[in-house]
Amino acid sequence: MYDFEAERAAADGRTSAATGGPARALMYLELPRWLGEYAASRTLDLVTPARDVGHGRPVLVVPGFSANDAMTGRLRGHLRRHGFRVHGWKLGRNHGLTDRLVDGLSQRFSELVEDYDEPVSIVGWSFGGLLARWLAHEHAADVRQIVCLGSPWRAEGERTRATAMFERSRERYGISDRAQEIVDIARRPVPVPTTAVWSKTDGIVPWHGCRVDDATDPAPAENIEVLSSHVGMVASPLVLAAVVDRLAQDPADWHPFSWRALVPGLTS
């Protein structure tokens, strides 16, 4: 994330509440862990039956910072296999809060709502999860629910292993005059069902900045802890199973998440 908290603290003459990123060792393990998670989910998709739990409902997947639709392909393919109509954002690489991406994302979402004539679910990976929260505020009536994967939306989670990349991107691509406002909006309680998936072994972002406050009002908000790398949030079998389960929920008859409920023959 951009280190807005540090900028505000400096302007106010106080100390920033943001903490540092995860241990460097976890960051170095990101690539090999992602390779294993990707291979595991691909293998499971080949040997396990598909279930049509999506019933053709639309889902928009928003990539993380510096990522594009190709990097969320494993997640989108898995959701499609289970009956969801899944769409990428079609905006290329995510360079952060530029006017082009902010306006393009809002337009892309509105087009999907018009195409389907029903609310659309949003899955946001990493920084894409903060954008999902913002969209849920801007288009509350048209968002079915959001699922955020390793998304550091809290002020204390701003400083990550990718913060320097955000600052370089700001210098190269610019930043919208609305950036601070967008982040502030995204940090308000979300008016639609919200699921935060996070991992204490995340090698890029601090997990405590990804958690939501469990709530039922104004809408259900819940946490799902998984064992996953950060990059693997869009490939890990555990994450994919949790995302399918949550997207299959009826917002009007919401049931809290349970790992036991995902295992045939067991009750939650």
Once rounded to an integer, what is the mean pLDDT over residues 10-17?
59
207-to-43, 105, 232 alpha-carbon distances in Å: 28, 26, 14
Whether the pLDDT of residue 263 is over 90: the answer is no
| Alpha-carbon span 257 to 146, nearest angstrom | 14
Phi, psi of 63 (to 5 degrees): -70, 165
Question: In the structure, what pLDDT confidence band is assigned to residue 229 with cuts at 50, 70 and 90?
Answer: very high
The token duo for 155 is: 């002020």
Percent of the chain with pLDDT over 70: 92
Please state the separation of Cα 189 from the chain's center in Å: 16
Q: What is the pLDDT of residues 45-78, one digit of tens each?
A: 999 999 999 999 999 999 999 999 999 999 999 9
- What is the pLDDT at residue 16? 53
Q: CATH says 4-250 is which class?
A: alpha beta
Whether the pLDDT of residue 92 is over 80: the answer is yes
- What is the pLDDT at residue 151? 97
Which residues does residue 71 pair with via DSSP β-bridges, in sequence order?
none
The token duo for 147 is: 């699922």
- What is the pLDDT at residue 15? 55
CB atoms within 10 A of CB 55: 10
- What is the pLDDT at residue 157? 87
Whether the pLDDT of residue 267 is over 50: the answer is no
- What is the pLDDT at residue 19? 65
Question: In the structure, what pLDDT confidence band is assigned to residue 14 with cuts at 50, 70 and 90?
Answer: low
Whether the pLDDT of residue 111 is over 90: the answer is yes
Task: Map tokens 């919208």 to a residue.
Answer: 176
Q: What is the pLDDT of residues 178-215, one digit of tens each?
A: 999 999 999 999 999 999 999 999 999 999 999 999 99
Of 60-64, 92-96, 116-120, 163-167, the range with the lowest mean pLDDT is: 163-167
Q: What is the pLDDT of residues 116-159, one digit of tens each?
A: 999 999 999 999 999 999 999 999 999 999 999 999 999 988 88
84-to-176, 189, 206, 217 alpha-carbon distances in Å: 33, 27, 30, 27
- Whether 137 and 245 have beta carbons less than 8 Å apart is answered as no
Q: Tell me the pLDDT of the chain averaged across its residues.
A: 93
